[in-house]
Copies of this chain bind each other. A is one copy, B any other.
Amino acid sequence: MDKRLKIRITHGPNTAIGPGKADLLEAIIQQGSISKAAQTMNMSYRRAWELVNVMNEAFKSPLVSTAHGGSHGGGAQLTDLGKTVLQHYRNLEKKVRQTAQNELSSIYKLLK
């Protein structure tokens, strides 16, 4: 069975950034819109918007900026802060996997 380490940073009751939100930010970079990003992730547009909204509210300024133009239209892109947070999160994941390899494999070995 697939075994993974997942890390997230909570901010009060919400997850500010975690695996799903980081993947969504990357999909927004690639697709240039929240609705297309949601499609590639098999996620509803509503759900993607909720995740973006939680991130935009948790950080000091928004991570995703949207252009206006109809309910699904106008496109979206990461702000400078969005790119910075995504990069820090990927660095954090990498660092954790590298440095905690022994502790991690101790647990993995005990899983089915």
A residues in contact (CB < 8 Å) with B: 1-12, 16-17, 57-60, 81, 84-85, 88-89, 91-92, 95-96, 99-100, 103-104, 106-108, 110-112
Contact = CB atoms under 8 A, between A and B. Distances in A.
B8 A6 contact: yes
Contacts of A110: 59-60, 81, 84-85, 88
A73 B61 CA distance: 52
Closest 8 CB pairs of A and B: A99-B99, A92-B103, A1-B12, A88-B106, A4-B10, A95-B100, A88-B107, A7-B7
Taking the full assembly, how many copies of this chain does it contain? Answer: 2
A110 B81 CA distance: 8
Given A3-B9, A3-B10, A92 B84 contact: no
